[in-house]
Structure 1
């Protein structure tokens, strides 16, 4: 049998009790001080006046005592009542404001992220609390939408290769499909796709949590650009795309501290995307430019471009501006999320821009120069 817990005082009752206690202590102190010091001061003044009639002195003493007792009592009573009244009003407003936040927190906990706490206008702290809560609820709503979409996309990514494997294996079991080398080759493709998806998910999760292993070393920018362009040259040549490097000799000789494999992975991914979305005979440019203590790298193409509504979401996990086309090419929708995480691990930033469909796109990376890293 559970013991009944004693009823706890609310914040309003606690504040009111604390204020009343302070007022009572203040009133008692004022009364004690007045009763001790007042008569002493009066007695000293009477001695200085040298009265001759003792009855006059006694009457004056009684009049003084009655006057200060009555006036102080009335003043303390009025102060106590007015303070209690003001305290009740203030504590009720504070309690109502916190109750709104509590109710909103309960709604958020139940999955309703559209809740909004209005400003209570009781000081900057309360308004900041309401604003921070509203921002938190909005961010949680965005995270929940992203999570839901991510799970749906992940289910889709898994469904296709699993269905392929199931179909072929069922055919082999039924004796309809021969278990020969061509069939094994067909089975390896969805298995490789699942393995690549698992690797991508692990990589982007590790990067977003700041646990990405980095091997820092001096890296010449020219070598970074040339290696990335070399890896993309076969695909670009097959499509007749003109792939060029735009960088001065001074910028090519610039040395940065970076992980060559990780940063090369970013540029290779950007070049692959650019080549994939650029029509035959198009142009793709890989460039670098130094500006003060920053190094700017970019990959620009004159391909299909990106619609404005897609630009803010390009670096989200599993997001695709053209889902059908990217799935046809085997993309998982995680590449840009991984790339941005790697760039951020280098202390840099990454952004995308496009004038719209049919006007190409440019992805820009900004990295700090002279940044020191500890060896991982």
Structure 2
């Protein structure tokens, strides 16, 4: 506001000086061209009248202009200060970990409103990350509680002589293995999300990958009573630049997920298709499916669409998380779709296609 007032005062001073110096001189020059005698009372009266009228008009105009400009400047400065205060307070609350804080939009201009919207979006993302962190800690506590309780109970029973150590050893070994597997899962998903999983890329025909994957999983699907079908891409077999082992791991996770959620008598179809510069590999089943609410969380760590499932019959809950991280490392995308609970699910893997002759 002080800067604006300085500009206004400088402008007013400039106008005043120019008007006082130039205006009377020009007016006096024109009066001399009349027939009035030099130094006559009429000539002096006319010049005094001109100067008085000019001073009065200029003074009133400057006062009104300064008051109006000052009022507008004060109003704008107040609005900006209120907006910046709200932004500063919001950022301060976010820095303290209060991620539910939102910055109000007071209509102080498109730029500041855009900044407020960006801060609110950042706060929402931080809030979601914090919620994921809390949920992850809760899931870890839940995953650890059961094996630790089992180990503790059996050790106490052996110490009291209630249970024979030889009979307890298989149980203790199983729970220890479960803890070890959980630690490996956590390490694997952390490395995947941090982009530390190494991939060795080479050209690979998609049909070759599908054939090897179907052969590997065919026996397990037959044992579960679920039909496994494969479809080859039309035309020339497309080629992708991938790590065969890592991509096989992704397809294995998708097939394991489909087998787990498909009842005996159901069908799982694995197919591939080329669309321009992209190759799509889909794994579709007619099993449990998932709801729209679960879709946004399918790739989160330790998330299970059916909360009633246990680790023993629903997996670790990180297969899809690792799969998406691996697909991202290949420059592709992994998405999921379902028409609702009990109506099956389709997972689509999209990878860049290797151009012919390369």
TM-score of Structure 1 vs Structure 2, range by shorter chain:
0.7 to 0.9
* 1:72 to 1:335, Cα distance in 2 relative to 1, 3 A: same
Structure 2 residue 185 is the aligned partner of structure 1 residue 200: yes
Q: Which range moved further: 338-347 or 55-64?
A: 55-64
Q: Would the aligned equivalents of 1:296 and 1:365 in 2 still touch at CA under 8 Å?
A: yes
Cα shift at 1:103: 4.1
Look up the match of 2:21: 36
Q: 2:246 aligns with which of 259, 262, 283?
A: 262
Q: Which range moved further: 71-80 or 233-242?
A: 233-242
Cα shift at 1:229: 2.3
Cα shift at 1:157: 1.2
Equivalence map 1:25-104=2 (5 Å): 25-49=10-34, 51-55=36-40, 56-104=42-90
Q: Would the aligned equivalents of 1:231 and 1:268 in 2 still touch at CA under 8 Å?
A: no
Look up the match of 1:124: 110
Distance 1:22 1:311 in 2: 58
Look up the match of 2:327: 343
Q: Which range moved further: 187-196 or 147-156?
A: 187-196
Q: Would the aligned equivalents of 2:304 and 2:314 in 1 still touch at CA under 8 Å?
A: no
Q: 1:312 aligns with which of 292, 296, 314?
A: 296
Cα shift at 1:198: 2.8
Question: Match of 1:323, SS?
Answer: coil
Distance 1:326 1:353 in 2: 24
Look up the match of 1:275: 259
Question: Match of 2:304, SS?
Answer: coil
Q: 2:119 aligns with which of 125, 133, 144?
A: 133
Tell me the TM-score normalized by structure 2. 0.86
* 1:82 to 1:241, Cα distance in 2 relative to 1, 3 A: same
Cα shift at 1:220: 1.4
Question: Match of 2:335, SS?
Answer: strand
- Gaps of at least 5 residues in structure 2 are none
Cα distance per residue 1:260-283 (max 9 Å; x no partner): 222211110010111122222332
Cα distance per residue 1:122-166 (max 9 Å; x no partner): 332233233333333333333332222111001111222333343
Cα shift at 1:238: 1.8
Look up the match of 2:338: 354
Aligned residue pair count: 354
Look up the match of 2:225: 240
Cα distance per residue 1:302-335 (max 9 Å; x no partner): 2233234322321122211123424123622111
Q: Which range moved further: 312-321 or 96-105?
A: 96-105
Q: Would the aligned equivalents of 1:305 and 1:357 in 2 still touch at CA under 8 Å?
A: yes
* 1:172 to 1:82, Cα distance in 2 relative to 1, 3 A: same
Distance 1:360 1:74 in 2: 80
Structure 2 residue 146 is the aligned partner of structure 1 residue 155: no
Cα distance per residue 1:40-84 (max 9 Å; x no partner): 323433444474231344444433333333322221121111111
* 1:206 to 1:51, Cα distance in 2 relative to 1, 3 A: farther
Tell me the TM-score normalized by structure 1. 0.82
